[in-house]
Amino acid sequence: MMDRREALRLSSILLGGTLSAATISGVLSGCKADPKPDWTPAFIDKDHIQSLSELCETILPAGKTPGAKDAKVDRFIDVMLKDVYKPEDQTNFANGLAQLDIDAKTKYGKSFGRLSSDQRKEMVQVMDDELRNRKEQPTQKPFYDMAKELTITGYCTSEEGATKLLKYLPVPGEYKPCIPLSEVGGAWAI
């Protein structure tokens, strides 16, 4: 009995997986003068706000259903970072966003926000592959993980995302424990 239990304990898998220690440099970017957003960020450096908006839109683009910009995910992220996140996470995010622009400039000579859609996808693909294939989770959550998590959360809890991509039913009125998925037609927002 003990052996089987021990085997079970050892075979348990953490659903989240873990990430390798990627050091994100705190180099400040020297980039300037992206077009001004139509809102004033409270936390994100205005020079990088367009890059953030485009990163979110690349993660969740508009198509048949609204995208991250429609859901104002960039504003959500700005408020979350300013009001909720710890100082070390704020710094990590700001540095990561600045680094994204440095990398974009190194590769394409432009900030991330000014890249073509294909160039943005190419850069995000690299970061998403790294996340997906990572075996060990570093103690400090990497920038892309934070950005993706915040984008999905902001989108799925927005009115646009919750009601147009997901199924939103504020007052179900009843509980049906086992029905065909086709009757619902998709994933519940809440």
Rg (CA), the chain: 20
CA 99 to chain centre: 16
Angle at 177 between CA 174 and CA 181, to 5 degrees: 105
Minimum distance from CB of 32 to other proteins (Å)?
28
- The contact pattern for other proteins, residues 69-108, with x = CB under 8 A and - = no contact, is -------x--xx--xxxx----------------------
Verify binding: residue 109, other proteins, rule CB under 8 A: no
Verify binding: residue 34, other proteins, rule CB under 8 A: no
The total of other beta-carbon atoms located within 10 Å of residue 122's CB is 14
Residue 60 is encoded by which pair of tokens?
A: 């969740």
Closer residue to other proteins (CB): 17 or 26: 17
Closer residue to other proteins (CB): 22 or 149: 149
CA nearest 75: which of 116, 113, 37, 31? Answer: 37
The total of other beta-carbon atoms located within 10 Å of residue 124's CB is 19
Residues at the interface with other proteins (CB under 8 A)? 5, 8-9, 11-17, 58-61, 63, 65, 76, 79-80, 83-86, 121, 124-125, 128, 131-132, 145, 148-149, 152-154, 156-159, 162, 165-166, 168-184, 186-190
